[in-house]
Each structure stands twice: as C-alpha cells, then as structure tokens.
Structure 1
C-alpha cells in the first residue's frame, strides 16, 4: 500500500511543516522562486523485514499512526540509531511535537492584540486560494446561524477551505488552476445563498528565549450576510 493524500494532509498539518525533532521548517522558499522540500514522511515501524524497528504483524505500515515527519538528517539518524530511537520514544516525540505545534499556533493567534478592522471581499477563486495556501492556522468568523441548515452550510464552507489549505503544498500548477476554478464556483454559491466572504493572510512571528524566531501564516476568513451592518461599501469614484 502507499501513503494516501488524506494521511499526508493530516501528518503535515499536525506537524506544522516542521521536523518533529529539530523543528526545522521543511518547505522553504529562500530565494522567493525555488521551493525546497527538506521533509520526509518516515515510518516508525519499517515494513521491511530487516528494516528499523520492524514488526511483522502490522497490516498497513502507511497509516498516520506509523508515520512521523522529519528532516532528512533526522530521518537518517533514527534509522541508524535504532537502540536510541525506539518505537516508544518516536511515538512520544511525535505526540509532543504535534502538541507543541497546536499550542504555539493557538497562542500566537489568541495573543494577537487586535483583529483586522477592515477585510477585503474575496471575489475570485484564485485570490481565495492564495490566502489559504500553506496556512498553518485559520482565524474564522461568521454571522450567527439562524437554523440548523445554516449551521451545516457555514461549517462545510470553512471545513472545505481549511482542507484545501492543508493539502495545498502538494498542488502542481494544473491542480492550482483546477482548485481555483472550484473555489470560484464556491464563491458564486456563497453569494447565491446570501453571503459575502472576506479575508486576508498574515505572517505571525514568535521569538523564543533562545533567540529563534518562528513564523506561521494565518488565514483570516469571515463570512457575512449581504445585509450585515458591518459591511462597509466604498464608492471608489468618489475617493
């Protein structure tokens, strides 16, 4: 069997695009043109008979529970130093890292001094895809639903957008065009249902005691009814 896209999305999303041991950023864009992938989806228990920490009774070695996200250096290290990196230790490292990612991002979002006062309305699928691509966290808001149907609709909208954002790192150029088109249709449906979608992307940073600065991209998405009093309409011809 092979690692599925759903499993990859879960692994990379929960790991925050960071090595579970050294916290190195795995997808980088150092020169603003070339994207480098330093990450490897590593098996805690190898499927190979003579592989690291092998167990023969496992039916599927490519499930999320048997994978840990690492940089190339630490992938090599855990597979060579098997006496040190036992199955139990790697499961602890993985769980501890994912908890660190979740708590750090949540804290960065919650400690933001002031939410954006003005958000631009999103009018194209291409623009929406740009906002959610490679996001590590999402700040969402919406008008209070008036019935269960609206609860389901609003929930599905935000779930769809976060799902696309979480797997955006695997998109090839054709995929981006296709997804942008699908998001364009989604925006049309949102407006037909009586809503507007607003949003923006922010890079939020946190400096640690050792001087290291980590950055996360956070996508802000706000769904408002068209008749909401919070929507400000500007006449650009009079400005």
Structure 2
C-alpha cells in the first residue's frame, strides 16, 4: 500500500514545502509558465530488506511518522550515508525542521497582525473617555491639520486636558471620578458642536528601551478628527 493522500498532505503541510535539511523550496515556479517539483517523500526506515535503515516487522512503512520531506540531492545523500543519517538523526532533523516551519509561520502571522491598520471606536460618553485615560502610563494622540491658530489652541487644550484627567484619575476617590466623567461628557458635546469627533482605546503594549528589557504598559490612544473629513 502506497502513501495515502492524507499522509502526503500532512507531510508537505508540516514541512512547509521546504527540504528538511537545506530548507530549499521544493515546488516552485521555474518561469512564468513552468513549475518544477524537486521534493521527494523519503522513508526514514526503508521497507526494502536491502534498503537504508531497514528494520523488519514494522507495521507500517508509509505512514507520516516514517516519512521525511527532502530535496532530491538530500534524499540521495541520506540513503548513501545511512550510517551517518541514522533513524534517530533523521527523526531529529524532521522534528526540528517542522518546528522551524511552525515558529516561522506563527511569527509572520503575529507580525502581520501588528501591521494591520487599527480601527478605533468613536467615543460618545464621558465615562467611556475616562475609562480610556484612567491609569494610563502613556498617551498616543493624533488630530487633523488645524487651519487656524484658534483651532490649534482649542484642540491642543483638549488633548492636554484629557492627559491631565488621566494623570489624576488614579489618585481620586470614586465620587470624584463620577464627576470627572460628567465633565468629560460636556467636553465631548463641545467638541462635536465645533465639528469634531474623538476616537480612542486603551491597550497593553510592550515598551522598553532595550531588547529583552520590555514590559507591558497601559497606553491610551486618542484621535480627534474633523467630522467633515470622515
């Protein structure tokens, strides 16, 4: 019985279409109209009595556990140098390679997530706004280009006021925070009356000056946009 389709897919998927030894891409385009496959599904323990690393009475020679994905050159090398490439060595190479594929893909996915644009929710109540700035260790702010000095002074004052609220919110009693939320509600109404919406979020972020010396800090992101530009 040959290698099943399920086993073949499992082997190629976990190996990432790469040789387990040299990491060469196995199935790729040679040109715009031509594809080449140099990958081979190789037995770790040969099913032939005179084959490399043969072990009798193995219940299944064509299962996933007994296969390793290699390029043609390394397939030939492991079979000719079978004493060097023992069963244990090939199992180690296979496991190490598949872990490399998994870790590489997971890292790429995580990096891609970090690079995705972030969509901030519009803040509609003073309580929501206070929750974002409350106990924040840092602030990230943005705003549309101001056309007049009066607008610049107004938006600059709003941003500074929000930061001040965040800085003192952790030092006051619950009663005072309720009053602060009420005051921020008025601030939101005033912003909207002047043609602005505010968007934001609070999130934990890794921040540090040196690699390996990073810690999670609470960061408030606040973005003020002109309604006419949305």
Normalised by the size of structure 1, how large is the TM-score? Answer: 0.48
Q: What is the TM-score of this pair, normalised by structure 2?
A: 0.50
Larger of the two Rg values belongs to structure: 2
